[in-house]
Amino acid sequence: MLGLPDDVTACLFDLDGVLTGTAELHRAAWKETFDALLRGRDGADFAPFTEADYNNYVDGRPRFDGVREFLTSRHIQLPEGTPDDPPSAETVGGVGNRKNVRVQQIIAERGVNPYAGSVRYLEAAKQAGIRIAVVTSSANGAAVLDAGDLSKYVEARIDGVVIAERKLKGKPAPDSFLAGAEALGVAKEQAAVFEDALSGVQAGKTGGFGYVVGVDRVGQAEALRTHGADVVVTDLAELLDES
């Protein structure tokens, strides 16, 4: 009834872009942050942060990894700093924290809107006795789940805070998803990964999970398949409709 292989007993959901529309809020915060940095460096003729930059270097990755990947793509070097650097610092830590302050402001302004199809899917999974975890690189995972009234579906949460505390490798490494399966007490072969980010789909594939669902919100279905998705949908309700 869930569009998954029969031996799947657990679902590991990314959050932003899979369960909630907050991916676009993160994208906006990243663009504001990086465009300001680039404008200050290159002047009015700077090359702005693009949708492709977001998808290739930032989406799905832990915050500071995203900063490093994007800056490297533009041949920009900043001091590493620390994760506790103030947002004003011109360091990797400072840029990442600058973005986090901005995304929290945007979330407060616009609110959190879960996808209706994702809520339907969560309800169906819960009714079917499927174990549910959220695996997100965002340090704001708990707040977003609460704001979207989704915490009631979730048994375990591996978010950016947990990833940092446990020193887990971020996506595209599979470590955070493996931690999610472990938290639910299921083998990775019995868990399905749901991801909209190329790095997250790659993590599900290389981690050897039982099934990888790519969620295409931005027109990158073929890229999701190339990175390892077993199936690609534009909304999780499609899996229910196909069951």
| Residues identified as active-site | 14, 16
Beta strand 156-158 pairing with 131-135: parallel
Instruction: Count CB neighbours of 235 within 10 A.
Output: 17
Backbone angles phi, psi at 132, to 5 degrees: -130, 130
The whole-angstrom separation of Cα 150 and Cα 15 is 10
Q: Which helix (H) or strand (E) holds 73?
A: helix 63-73
Which positions ≥6 away from 28 have C-beta within 8 Å? 103, 106
Asked if residues 225 and 204 have their Cβ atoms less than 8 Å apart, the reply is no
Q: What angle do CA 101, 143, 193 make, to 5 degrees?
A: 105
The whole-angstrom separation of Cα 39 and Cα 238 is 42
- By the 10 Å C-beta count (0-12 exposed, 13-18 middle, 19+ buried), 36 is classed as middle
